[in-house]
A and B are shown apart, each in its own frame.
Chain A
Amino acid sequence: MPKTPTTNPGTNRTGLQASPMDAKDLEQIAGKGPSPDCEGLELNTLRGRYAKEMNTIGSVPPPGSMKGMATTGMEMLKGHKPTVFIDKLGERLAFERTGVRMYEALLIKHDALGSWDGGPTRQDLVELHNDELEHFNLVKETMKRLGADPTSMTPSADMTAVEAMGPAKVITDLRTTMPQALHAILVLEDTDVEGWKLLIELADSIGQNSLAERFREAEQVEERHQQKVRQWLSSAVLADAQNELGTQGRA
């Protein structure tokens, strides 16, 4: 069924202008004068107290049991706190794995709805999917070599999964248009690039230069993803503004 772009005017009822009579009554009780000073609110004092009192979300598992500590990989990290590296490797592992699932979801949307001039082709999306898979495998193998457990969920992996929940909801919502989903995946690609940059910096700082080099390759690939997604997204929005997007991509 062809879909009209969601940017076409419709029956949106959310704003005050949609209810001119009721809105007038409602505005009688609206606040007057400046809003409260946020910093002075009890709300923030209370949150500050919780921040001091609450436990952290959890810890990094000990590297592959005590046996893992003795592996050649772990020897490589001697003199440093290995769990910091493991935590961040766990983060990239989880993120790339979710990335694989996100591009699979985008492929479904693409195949169902099509694309537009300047939008992603199927081949483009397959390529990005395969890159995420390759990066996942790179991190998995690195963790194994270090004697870390790639099946564990590290604290940074957990946090990054919470961060990804919003974009993932938009991408897997089959009511959303391809440009809406691309906006969501751009959030993930931006985060991914930053994640790799930090991991490279960390690897360099603990003398893992050859690993840093491999991660740099991955980071450059992710930067290309970022640029591509940004271009696809802007081509859709600009075409829509010229009334040229049509029903493709469900703008």
Chain B
Amino acid sequence: MSKLDDDAFTRVRIILMHGLGQGLNRFLHMAARFNGDIREPLARVRRSSHHMQTMTNWLLPPDDSPIETTIGYEQVAIEVTASVAQHEPDDYLAQNYRFGLLEDFDHLYRYSALLDRLEGKDPNNILQSYTDIAPGRPTWFEHRDPADDLRTPYDRNTAHPLSKLHALTIYTAEYQTRDFYMTVGPMYTDPVARAMYAEIASMEEQHVTQYESMVDPNETWLEKWLLHHGMMVYNYYSCMQYEENPRIKAIWERCLDYQLGQLQVAMKHFKDIERRDPEEILPKDIPEPINFTAHRDFIRKVLEEEVELTAYGHEFMHKDKAPPNNRSDQYRDYMNKDGSPTEIMAEGYQWRPGTEVTAEQPLRKAL
């Protein structure tokens, strides 16, 4: 894609589909370790999906700096999660998405400060005015005890199929975000940038924990296999619906065809081994696609109403309602005892068109 001429949502779709491909690959490997009888079909499907993932991820423009790509990752986390939160049929799960969304929203603000202050660039060149750059739930406050990141899973027998596809989508997308930050973080020379990536990667690990825990752990391996391909079909289909670049639209269409083929393989094994009908698991019709457009109004509303929430156990509550000095308070205090890199980086930062250098005053010669 072209960094300058393509729509920002083309980058969003590329990053998303790479993340989902990574999640599928991770699942297929794990499944092979526990299911010796289907090792070969898993290996075949995996090889083909690996190459699809490569085709997708290599569409990213090489003139993006790693921070610019990071800005793209956060735009995915914000806009795709916002779409999912609005379409999610289950209220509790929707609340989870809104909760995570406000944290990624804050990460975007912090990384924007980094891009401006380290490279002297405007993050809006990447975001193309679709997404606000402002504080969300402060990153330093997002540290939680692991037990407070676990959620009540949906029930595999009663959950809406779309809820299952949503959970897998956001879980795998966040997993890739965590992995990306863990990979590029040490490539920075600036020590505060390195520390910031370490801090936000820790939050992404929490998000992976949260979204993973929403999925019913009693689903069988084969159910999960079916759902992974269902999720890929749903997302490639969504990408195809919104893509404006004809060359890339053709790639989404091609990947959708491949994924439909892979879904057939999974369905065959599901029927042969579990003797069940895949229709028990998958939606009968393809649901309304992920909405790859700006969700500004929705996000501003959630920000206004829910930024003060915290998680305690499996539930969300206003931070003042959580028991005083609880396990997450203690963990947060410990993690922040030497300060928070994201707070330090974004001190006084306010996005303005063309970077904050546009309003910078000359330095005084004497201190």
Does any Cβ of A come within 8 Å of B158's Cβ? no
* B357/A136 in contact, CB under 8 A: yes
Residue in B closest to A103 when the chains form the complex, CB atoms: B363
* A168/B119 in contact, CB under 8 A: yes
B366 to chain A: which residues have CB within 8 Å? 123
Does any Cβ of B come within 8 Å of A58's Cβ? yes
- The number of A-B residue pairs with CB atoms under 8 Å apart is 94
Shortest CB-to-CB span from A72 to chain B, Å, is 22
Interface residues of B in 142-162 (CB under 8 A from A): none
Does any Cβ of B come within 8 Å of A133's Cβ? yes
Bound-state Cα–Cα, A101 to B191, Å: 16
Does any Cβ of B come within 8 Å of A73's Cβ? no
Residue in A closest to B362 when the chains form the complex, CB atoms: A130
Shortest CB-to-CB span from B64 to chain A, Å, is 9
Most chain A CB within a 10 A radius of its CB, from B61, B125, B363: B363
* B2/A55 in contact, CB under 8 A: yes
A170 to chain B: which residues have CB within 8 Å? 189
A122-B367, A126-B364, A130-B362 given; A101·B4 CB < 8 A: no
Residue in B closest to A154 when the chains form the complex, CB atoms: B4
* A173/B4 in contact, CB under 8 A: no
- Name the contact of B190 in the complex, choosing from A126, A161, A174 (C-beta under 8 A): A174
A151-B124, A161-B65, A173-B189 given; A57·B4 CB < 8 A: yes
A140 to chain B: which residues have CB within 8 Å? 354, 358
B120 to chain A: which residues have CB within 8 Å? 94, 97-102
Does any Cβ of B come within 8 Å of A169's Cβ? yes
Does any Cβ of B come within 8 Å of A127's Cβ? yes
Type the 1/0 row for A110-131, where 1 means its CB is closer than 8 Å to any CB of B. Answer: 0000000000001100110110
* B3/A101 in contact, CB under 8 A: no
* B355/A57 in contact, CB under 8 A: no
Residue in B closest to A169 when the chains form the complex, CB atoms: B189
* A172/B118 in contact, CB under 8 A: yes
Type the 1/0 row for B1-12, where 1 means its CB is closer than 8 Å to any CB of A. Answer: 011110000000
What is the number of residues of chain A that contact chain B, defined by CB distance less than 8 Å? 43
* B357/A161 in contact, CB under 8 A: no
Residue in A closest to B358 when the chains form the complex, CB atoms: A140
Does any Cβ of B come within 8 Å of A64's Cβ? no
B358 to chain A: which residues have CB within 8 Å? 140
Shortest CB-to-CB span from A58 to chain B, Å, is 3
Shortest CB-to-CB span from B123 to chain A, Å, is 11
A130-B363, A133-B357, A172-B118 given; A57·B63 CB < 8 A: yes
* B357/A58 in contact, CB under 8 A: no
* A151/B353 in contact, CB under 8 A: yes
B174 to chain A: which residues have CB within 8 Å? none
A30 to chain B: which residues have CB within 8 Å? none
Does any Cβ of B come within 8 Å of A38's Cβ? no
Does any Cβ of B come within 8 Å of A195's Cβ? no
* B191/A161 in contact, CB under 8 A: no
Bound-state Cα–Cα, A21 to B65, Å: 41
Using a CB–CB distance below 8 Å, which chain B residues touch chain A?
Answer: 2-5, 61, 63, 65, 117-122, 124-125, 189-191, 193, 353-355, 357-358, 360, 362-367
- Pairs A-B, 9 closest by C-beta atoms: A58-B4, A173-B189, A98-B120, A101-B120, A130-B362, A172-B190, A97-B120, A58-B5, A153-B125
